[in-house]
Structure 1
Amino acid sequence: MALTSWRAFNFFDVAPVRLPDGDASPKLDQGSASCIAAGSQNVFVGTPEGSVHLLDQSLKSVRSWKAHDAGSLTHLTQVPDSSYFLTLAEDLSHEPELKVWNLDQTEKKTGHPKLLCTLRVQNQRKTFPVIDIAVTTDLAQLAVGFGNGAVTVVRGDFIHDRGTKQRTVFESEEPITGLEFREAKTTALYIATTSHIRALAISGGGQGTPARTLDERGCAVGCMTLEPQSSDIIVGRDDAIYVYGPRGKAASYAYECTKKLVAVHKDYVLVVSPPKGNFAGNTMLRQFGGQQVDGLMNSSNLTILDADLKLIAYSDKVNGEVNQILSMWGDIFLLTVEGKLYRYHERTFTQKLDLVYQRDLYLVAISLAQKYKVDAVQQNVIFRRYGDYLYSKGDYDTAMQQYLRAIDNTEPSQIIRKFLDNQHIKNLIEYLEALHEEGKATSDHTTLLLNCYAKLKDTEKLDAFIKQPGDLKFDLDTAIIMCRQGGYYEQAAFLARRHEEHGLVIDIMIEDLKWYAEAVAYIVRLGPKDAYDNFMRYGTVLLEHRPIEMTQLFVDYFTDQYRPKKDAVIVQDTTPAQQESSGFGTAAKSAVQNLVAFIPLPGMTVSSTPAAGEQKATQVVETTTAGDYVAYEAPKPRLAFSAFVDHPEEFITFLEALIKSENVKEAEKADLHTTLFEIYLHQASNSKAEEKTEWERKARQLIESKDVPIDTSNVLLLSDLERFRDGTILVSERQGLRFDVFRSYTAAKDTRGAIKALHKYGPEEPQLYPAALAYFTSSPEVLQEAGDEIETVLKKIEEDGLMAPLQVIQTLSTNAVATMGLVKKYLSSTVERERAEIAANRRQINTLRSDTSQKLQSIDSLSTQPEPFSATRCSACGRTLDLPTVHFLCKHSYHQRCLNVAEGQDVEDVECPICTPQNQTVRQIRRAQEETAGRHELFQDALGRGKERFGVVGDWFGRGVMDAPSVTGTG
């Protein structure tokens, strides 16, 4: 690559270095200083007299000593990263003298650095100048190159001066121009001559083999150097700069100019070119221009190259001929032959960027940032500025690429505003997609991206966006909302399904897609909890469109029989002809196949996977068996009642199934029966004759069962509200409310029902007959419907004395419906019966009066008249009476001995043994009457139970209930 294509910058500031005046520092001109070397902390200056001066950063001499007694110091070098320092002095009459010093140790007598080793470098006893020396970093080997083309390698312990070995490892007819060690697994010595570049292995593998030629061209003295970081050798020739690695030439950069010096500073390659021509004889120019023309004619050129970035970091003239390049203290120093020193200080990264920005060279700025490994924030600033530049030039695609690179530290709104125009919508999509990929998108960004997809109608990209694998990189809720608003319902459902938002999936199916069968198919494949939440939420809607499936789902779940379904995906070989004939791939054959076409069903299993290149058809087959049972607690059935609003038939199916189930708790069955009874009655009231009869039959059959746990009050209430007499009658019968049953018929003007109830309950409830009489004569229509039944009622009333004749007449005359012909027979028989009873009563009265008169006469006779006794035999033993004899007023006589009178007992107190039982009975009856006289409740009870209350009162008078209690006293 030619340097002419490299951009040139001014990344270095140059300033002349003012040397200390007087004797504080040695002179650096070519005549005063025979050699100069840069150390880690000091500058080493060698003099022709063999002395060494150490200069500090202010270039003042801090230490000096006589290093060699004879000869001129021609070479100085410090072992990298150590305190060891080598000096080499040459005297053409002797072999070069090499010394090794330790700068950290001093001689006690002189205070000079400690001399570790002194040796003479051999050159086969030939006196040629030393061109270059090289030393390994461990100071185990050093190489010395001579002008006769020989290279001597010295090995040994230089530090402890335990002896060294020297060997000439290379000889050539061309003079040596440079030496460099390349240290790796194998230590190689690179040797440069005027016509060749060679590599010689001096340790490790390959040691002892001849030098390997890397290039058939050599280089000038000072034009070969080592790049420390890569350990590559850099060689400068007049046509180009070459880089050599362990296998030979690695790279080259065309740069035509005469090169005097080549050096390395950090990542830079420094090239010094001598003055282009010899103007020594041009006296006219010198006389015309004076010193300025003289300096111009003798100026050198310094070029600083950045080979990594392919740019010229600095290029300018240097007044005077450059003698040496020094890299120290982080800067570059150029020393001229006249002893002038120039310092080149590298500008900061920010200053470099400013220079690059001025020329709009943003690619260079990016390369600079990457080379210096600046943080991401600074790099993103460059990307952003580069994007702004490209945007201003109308290169929107490339600008977007830069904005994408700066996405981490750029406010997205600033970029989005630039591309809101419809012409740039694709670029905007690209940026929004990147925001989502980096996880930096907000809900607004998701909304905008989906809107862009919608504008372009790019369903393919929309699908790719929402179906991308891995973690979610956008706001789920926002994406679903936007898909639904844009009409992309299937995509919205896919997103919801993928992230287990089952409620949203079903909502989209029902509210947007109107896929009711698919919604049911989806629900029945969910776990118990998710299924319950969703079918309870959408139960009413789904019952309207899919009543059979939803009713069965309700039944299964509330009877603890719910099992999530699992479907199998069967992959079959299918040719296009078969697909066409079978209709496969056109319209879904079932809700499940339609559903799986765009979202995976819960619990789906795949039986096989089609191989690449094969034409396969996928069919979803619904399994007939349910999946594994997942334990759950069935909720109370009442929670499902609201879902069946406006769906009474499905509700009845649900209730009937739950009542028959053994898994429903007994505590819930009362509620189920009551509700079912209510819905039966509701259906009956809203149905026509035949259907109404059937619903009433079901209601009656439900409550007639003995084990039905329906509360009686509920049956009565519901029956009354729905005017269902059978329910009221049944409850009244069970509770013994027969009169209420009869009254329910009469209230409904159901004469036949009233007659039926009268026949059924009349024998046990006599008061129904007076009520029936009042009802039968309540209206002409009822009287006509009753027919001969009224005579039966009157007869029963007459026979059982249920009503007084006057009461019957009053009842019949209330509504002026009954005629005299209707009651003529009743009245005549009643009068005859009453007359017969009066005659019988009169006869009984006469008999009782006659008996009472006779009893009174007997009492009076016994009290006032003597009673003769004519008995001759003992009433006990039957023998003839003899004295002592005892006679009783009852006409019974006894021997005294037959009475068994106890000793001391008065005979007057003895009763007739034959009449004693009868007398005791009388006394007991009387005693009972006296006791009963004080118990008024018995009297009232008898009044209540008696058919003729006046007779009861007379009877109680006869028992002496009204007599004043007897008072006995002793005196």
Structure 2
Amino acid sequence: MGYFKCHCSMDVKVGVATSGHGNLVFGDSEGNIHLVNRSFQVTTFRAYELNIILIEQLRHTALIVTIGEDEPGVNPLIKVWNLEKQDKHGNPTCVRISRAIPNNKPTPATALCVHDNLNLMAVGFHDGSIVLFRGDVCRERTNKQKVLKDGSVPVTGLAFKTTAKFLYLYVSTTSSVVLFNITVKDKEIKVHLDGLGCTKRCSVLAETVQDANFMIGRDDVRLFLYFKVTTLYGRGPCYAVEGQKVLLQWFRSYLVIVAKEDKNMSRSSSTITTSTTSEPAERDKHMVTVLDIQNKFLVFSAPIKEVRAVLVEWGTIYILGGDHRVFQLSEKDLQSKLTLLFKKNLYDVSIRIAKSQQYDAEGLVDMFRQYGDHLYTKGDHTAAVDQYIKTIGKLEPSYVIRKVQLVELLCKT
């Protein structure tokens, strides 16, 4: 990861945020939605009379699904906005309005998830209810809904997962993680995954080329990954990251973690502040940490003043800070990352990253040679030979033979 770069300022009290289809989307405390395009031009329209509770921009479609309130009391409304169809005022057209109330029992909505196929939507509630909508999300009349009850504690996260044969819905609450097989209508199957839960915004679907798994961040140091392979369900690897988790986000193979900074928390050499004044830095900050899950490597960690949102769009990460400014966290190119890792003598990590990025064969051979030379210098001759062997057929034979002979000689003395 690289550096922060300020792009624009959101001089409103942002309560919710999402991204997709070429937009960064922010919902404020007064019921307005602010659309930020790639040129960082802001377009604003009124979505609710009171406030916006939840929001989701579809990744590949010009649709935004929101839940908010137009009148006092617990009366959450689902609205679907078509960004490509404008009303007479030039604002996105609201193509659907429906109430978000499970079993006609008013309760606050706490989680929202819409499938990319536009035929599935799930809403979680404070009383533990989950309403699953089947049918075109733009048309209320074609929707069939079913209440999937899961305990009595608030739902904190929802995520759809699609495989070749099945459809799943991950659900996190404050005290558990469950999985619903929702492939067959009215025959949903529930599987309990864990008796540990998480708070709002602390769950995410970690999508890679090979698979997609659900992750949660606990208030302690732990991050858990949950998997489902054929008939096997359960908890996968556990990752340790200090601090009380505030939110999780996923970007390519990276897990972005925002946690409340502990005074004793160790930092990287990169300290980032969004303050432009000469006032002392505030004590309470959030620590932004980026983990490369696939290569098991911490690639970035730095404090920043109160993170409001972390969004992914246009192939990069955007962070909304407490000073209302939007910053971009840039990823270094592969060669720059490998050079930095080599300088730190992290050869094994650099080789794993190079392999995962389909690095060219000649480049990998040179990395094996340098790793072998490093191990040879350290006195780990056996491990050095293992690296030199990987260069056979590519590197000059005399170099490899000479190194191996030296190792054999040293081992005999």
- TM bracket (short chain): 0.7 to 0.9
Describe the superposition over 1:774-799 as per-residue Cα deviations: whole angstroms up to 9, x where unpaired: xxxxxxxxxxxxxxxxxxxxxxxxxx
Shift of 1:112: 3.0
Matched, 1:252 2:231: no
- 2:384 corresponds to: 399
Of 80, 102, 113, 1:100 maps to 80
- 1:59 corresponds to: 40
How far, CA to CA, are the matches of 1:19 and 1:346 in structure 2? 19
Matched, 1:413 2:398: yes
Instruction: For structure 2, list consecutive stretches of 5 or more residues without a partner in the other structure.
Output: 264-276
- 1:187 corresponds to: 167
Matched, 1:200 2:180: yes
How far, CA to CA, are the matches of 1:92 and 1:183 in structure 2? 38
Of 343, 353, 370, 1:368 maps to 353
- 1:113 corresponds to: 92
- 1:222 corresponds to: 201
- 2:273 corresponds to: none
Q: Quick one: which amino acid aligns to residue 166 of structure 2? A: T
- 1:78 corresponds to: 57
Matched, 1:173 2:152: yes
The two structures have a TM-score, normalised by structure 1, of: 0.38
The 5 A counterparts of 1:901-912 are: none
Ranges of 4+ aligned residues in structure 1 off by more than 4 Å: 290-293, 417-427
- 1:315 corresponds to: 301
How far, CA to CA, are the matches of 1:147 and 1:164 in structure 2? 23
Describe the superposition over 1:623-642 as per-residue Cα deviations: whole angstroms up to 9, x where unpaired: xxxxxxxxxxxxxxxxxxxx
- 2:119 corresponds to: 140
C-alpha contact 2:206 2:250 (8 A) present in aligned 1: yes
The two structures have a TM-score, normalised by structure 2, of: 0.85
Shift of 1:212: 2.5
How far, CA to CA, are the matches of 1:52 and 1:248 in structure 2? 39
How far, CA to CA, are the matches of 2:172 and 2:188 in structure 1? 19
Of 222, 225, 230, 1:240 maps to 222
The 5 A counterparts of 1:470-549 are: none
The 5 A counterparts of 1:835-914 are: none
* SS class of match (2:342): helix
- 2:367 corresponds to: 382
Describe the superposition over 1:203-225 as per-residue Cα deviations: whole angstroms up to 9, x where unpaired: 3399244x322111111111111
Describe the superposition over 1:384-405 as per-residue Cα deviations: whole angstroms up to 9, x where unpaired: 1112223333444432322221
- 2:271 corresponds to: none
C-alpha contact 2:385 2:404 (8 A) present in aligned 1: no
Q: Quick one: which amino acid aligns to residue 90 of structure 2? A: G
Q: 1:330 to 1:391 in 2, by over 3 A?
A: same
Instruction: For structure 1, list consecutive stretches of 5 or more residues without a partner in the other structure.
Output: 1-11, 21-25, 278-289, 428-971
User: Quick one: percent identity of the two aligned structures?
Assistant: 28
C-alpha contact 1:97 1:118 (8 A) present in aligned 2: yes
C-alpha contact 2:224 2:237 (8 A) present in aligned 1: yes
How far, CA to CA, are the matches of 1:169 and 1:212 in structure 2? 12
Q: 1:104 to 1:378 in 2, by over 3 A?
A: farther
* SS class of match (1:82): coil
Number of residue equivalences: 390
Q: 1:169 to 1:59 in 2, by over 3 A?
A: same
Q: Quick one: which amino acid aligns to residue 13 of structure 1? A: G
Matched, 1:49 2:35: no
* SS class of match (1:95): coil
Describe the superposition over 1:23-71 as per-residue Cα deviations: whole angstroms up to 9, x where unpaired: xxx525xx2x33221123111122333332221124221x333333x33
How far, CA to CA, are the matches of 1:208 and 1:418 in structure 2? 62
Describe the superposition over 1:671-705 as per-residue Cα deviations: whole angstroms up to 9, x where unpaired: xxxxxxxxxxxxxxxxxxxxxxxxxxxxxxxxxxx
Of 254, 274, 287, 1:301 maps to 287
How far, CA to CA, are the matches of 2:158 and 2:110 in structure 1? 9
The 5 A counterparts of 1:563-582 are: none
- 2:272 corresponds to: none
Q: 1:17 to 1:398 in 2, by over 3 A?
A: same
How far, CA to CA, are the matches of 1:124 and 1:420 in structure 2? 78
Describe the superposition over 1:171-202 as per-residue Cα deviations: whole angstroms up to 9, x where unpaired: 43211111112223332222211111112233
How far, CA to CA, are the matches of 1:308 and 1:194 in structure 2? 27
Higher-helix-fraction structure: 1
C-alpha contact 1:35 1:74 (8 A) present in aligned 2: yes
* SS class of match (1:172): coil
Q: 1:35 to 1:255 in 2, by over 3 A?
A: closer
C-alpha contact 1:92 1:128 (8 A) present in aligned 2: no
Shift of 1:422: 10
* SS class of match (2:352): helix
How far, CA to CA, are the matches of 1:386 and 1:120 in structure 2? 61
How far, CA to CA, are the matches of 1:301 and 1:75 in structure 2? 24
* SS class of match (1:354): helix
* SS class of match (1:384): helix
Q: Quick one: which amino acid aligns to residue 227 of structure 2? A: G
Of 341, 346, 361, 2:326 maps to 341
- Bigger RCO (CA 8 Å, 6+ sep): 2
Shift of 1:242: 0.4
Matched, 1:274 2:277: no
- 2:270 corresponds to: none
The 5 A counterparts of 1:668-747 are: none
How far, CA to CA, are the matches of 1:74 and 1:205 in structure 2? 28
How far, CA to CA, are the matches of 1:154 and 1:195 in structure 2? 24
* SS class of match (1:377): helix
How far, CA to CA, are the matches of 2:336 and 2:182 in structure 1? 46
| Rg (Cα) greater in structure | 1
* SS class of match (1:203): coil
Q: Quick one: which amino acid aligns to residue 223 of structure 2? A: I
How far, CA to CA, are the matches of 1:110 and 1:422 in structure 2? 78
Q: 1:174 to 1:415 in 2, by over 3 A?
A: same
How far, CA to CA, are the matches of 1:49 and 1:419 in structure 2? 71
Higher-strand-fraction structure: 2
How far, CA to CA, are the matches of 1:327 and 1:257 in structure 2? 23
Of 14, 29, 41, 2:3 maps to 14
How far, CA to CA, are the matches of 2:404 and 2:293 in structure 1? 38
Describe the superposition over 1:355-396 as per-residue Cα deviations: whole angstroms up to 9, x where unpaired: 221122211121111121211111111011112223333444
